[in-house]
Amino acid sequence: MNFRNHGFFRRSAPPTTPPTTVQKPTTRTLSVLGGIAQISPCLYLCSGNAAANRHLVYSRSVTCIINATVEIPNSNWSDIDYFKVPVPDLPHVPLSLYFDTVADRIHQTGKKNGRTLVHCVAGVSRSATLCIAYLMKYHRLSLLDAHEWVKMRRPVVRPNMGFWRQLIDYEKKLFGKNTVKMVATPIGLVPDIYEKETRSLVPLWSFR
């Protein structure tokens, strides 16, 4: 499925018939940030606490869990496949080494009518980055659109700056161009989509 064909990222007026594969989040959905967010028909994103909640996981018919942490052990429920991405949430960590492997795993699970849940500790940086990479590779979304979609599904997502650089490089590798770039701000280099919110910020070191 290509999200573009279902009108998820239309910049103009939305279609009269809403997409039926994934419903847009309601106010109630957005308020339950400790829950599990549906990114696509076969992909979910959440925190480590939610991933350890057996009722939540089984209610989504999850068949594969990708654990993008060094802090949390796998639950190892017998009827779920596990894949570990043992990386800390640090800007210098090469998470991009796992972009293709994780995206392929999500795609193959979906082809078998399975569902994948990706989590880290908070469901904010590592797991969100992997979901964005998957959308770029298999749904051919630009980085800008992939981030917009994931953030709409789970508003707390915010990859660290190092992961943003890796996503930008990955987009260039996939499509030969970029829709997001790093720009200088008062607090350092950030993705240009964050530029507006940083204009009024003053770095702490300026008060020394």
43 vs 141: CA distance, rounded Å: 15
Query: What pLDDT is attached to residue 171?
Result: 98
State yes or no: is 131 an active-site residue.
no
Of 200 and 138, which is predicted with more confidence? 138
Whether the pLDDT of residue 126 is over 60: the answer is yes
Query: What pLDDT is attached to residue 13?
Result: 36
Angle separating helix axes 99-111 and 126-139, nearest 10 degrees = 60
Query: What pLDDT is attached to residue 106?
Result: 98
Spell out a b/e string for 71-105, using b for 16 or more CB atoms within 10 Å of the CB, else e.
ebeeeeeeebeebebebebeeebebbebbeebbeb
Query: What pLDDT is attached to residue 179?
Result: 98
Query: What pLDDT is attached to residue 33?
Result: 60
Neighbours of 188 (CB within 10 A): 10
pLDDT-based confidence at 202, cuts 50/70/90? Answer: low
Kindly report the pTM of this predicted structure. Answer: 0.84
pLDDT tens per residue, range 100-116: 999 999 999 999 999 99
Whether the pLDDT of residue 90 is over 80: the answer is yes
Query: What pLDDT is attached to residue 89?
Result: 98
Query: What pLDDT is attached to residue 203?
Result: 53
Torsion of CA 169, 173, 176, 177, to 10 degrees: -20
Catalytic residue among 46, 64, 120, 131: 120
Query: What pLDDT is attached to residue 198?
Result: 74
Whether the pLDDT of residue 68 is over 90: the answer is yes
Contact, 133 vs 99, CB < 8 A?
Answer: yes
Average pLDDT in the chain? 86
Select from 55, 66, 49, 53 the least CA-distant residue to 115. 66
Whether the pLDDT of residue 3 is over 60: the answer is no
Spell out a b/e string for 147-166, using b for 16 or more CB atoms within 10 Å of the CB, else e.
bbbbebbbeebbbbbbbbbb
